[in-house]
Amino acid sequence: MDPHLCQVAPTMLAALDVPGCTPTLDLPEARRACLLLIDGLGWDLLREHADCAPVLGSLSARRLSVGYPATTAAGLAAVGTGVESGEHGMAGYSFEIPGTGVVNALRWCSHPDGEDLSETLAAEDVQPRATTFERAAAAGVTTRVVSSAQFDGSALTRAALRGGRYVGVHALGDLAAGVLDGLRAPRAFVYGYHADLDLAGHLYGPGSEPWRLQLRQVDRLVESLVDGLPDEAVLAVVADHGMVRISETLDLDTAPELSAGVRAFGGEVRARHVYTEPGAERDVLAAWREVLGERAWVAGRDEAIADGWFGPRVDDRVRPRIGDVVAAARGTVGLVRASAEPRETALVGQHGSFTSAERFVPLAVAHTT
């Protein structure tokens, strides 16, 4: 069984003597640790396009699972909390919170483009677990989050990554510089984040020419970090999900057989939460299974939880965020909402489901002595 993305940061922090952190992965022990997350870098995609990433390809690497849903909010929270989605509660691109409605976890608004919730829905309440950064800082470790300046203070940052000194950057050069500067401390845990490979995949498709050229730039970033690692340092390059190119769509906004008994949709194109009217769960589940057939895995909430979709444990506060019915697309099918979600529907590349291309990411490691 493949290890989970959530195990990487606690394993690194265990080597830094952070209380409560247990090493569950075979990583080099070091006094300075960097976890670099490349958004959208799937294991399958990296292997298929290894010629675009010779430095990454030269590192010791293995495969990680990101669990379900294979999406950014869940992946960043897995890194930031050391647990899977059933415990940290960032259960998708969008999900329902009782008393609030369906929340877009990236834009922190009523989904898809409604009221800004940053003043009325505290990120720390949505994800209340202590983060890996808070635990590291409390143990006296110099802790830094190096990511785009536009995400400084955002709700998702506060939910998943709070506790580290935030260093806002604007390009690959200052991202690399910010990471290396953070690693100069005697005991350091540095998190770096790069988003543009994911963006190229969404807009042009994974494996497209723009995507491959962006992967080359990511490889140069990794090369700069490997070349600049100080003594007793480890670099772990991971991702939050992979991606597939959509070839078939089913529009939920024009499929009455899939909207009967449904009061709200959440999730995203490849991983849907379906929230039903009271008493309609059984009928909605049957309809979705019949209509989607082999195009998706479809389960009721209790079945999905029992089968471990959201990890080995689901907290009581997280359970209502999971759809009464959940659907994970197979193959390259997209469960779109062209009218309600035009921006998301238009994207060529999508992710969220259980396929190998979406669920598995690399753990590529470099270290110095």
The confidence score (pLDDT) of residue 230 equals: 98
Please name the amino acid found at residue 249: T
Token representation of residue 160: 């998943």
CA 258 to chain centroid, in Å, comes to 27
Task: Please list, in sequence order, all residues whose beta carbon lies within 8 angstroms of the beta carbon of residue 109, skipping any fewer than 6 positions away.
Answer: 103, 115, 116, 117
Task: Please list, in sequence order, all residues whose beta carbon lies within 8 angstroms of the beta carbon of residue 34, skipping any fewer than 6 positions away.
Answer: 179, 182, 183, 189, 190, 191, 192, 225, 233, 234, 235, 236
The CATH classification number of 248-346 equals: 3.30.1360.180
The confidence score (pLDDT) of residue 33 equals: 98
CA dist., res. 152 & res. 169, Å (int): 10
Task: Please list, in sequence order, all residues whose beta carbon lies within 8 angstroms of the beta carbon of residue 119, skipping any fewer than 6 positions away.
Answer: none
Q: Label each residue of 266-294 as H, E or C.
A: EEECCEEEEEECCCCHHHHHHHHHHHHHH
pTM, 2 dp? 0.98
Domain edges within the chain: 5-90+127-242+355-367, 248-346
Q: Render each residue's pLDDT in the chain as its tens digit; 369 residues.
A: 899 999 999 999 999 999 999 999 999 999 999 999 999 999 999 999 999 999 999 999 999 999 999 999 999 999 999 999 999 999 999 999 999 999 999 999 999 989 999 999 999 999 999 999 999 999 999 999 999 999 999 999 999 999 999 999 999 999 999 999 999 999 999 999 999 999 999 999 999 999 999 999 999 999 999 999 999 999 999 999 999 999 999 999 999 999 999 999 999 999 999 999 999 999 999 999 999 999 999 999 999 999 999 999 999 999 999 999 999 999 999 999 999 999 999 999 999 999 999 999 999 999 999
The confidence score (pLDDT) of residue 113 equals: 87
Q: What is the DSSP letter of 131?
A: P
- CATH architecture, range 5-90+127-242+355-367: 3-Layer(aba) Sandwich (3.40)
CA dist., res. 34 & res. 55, Å (int): 17
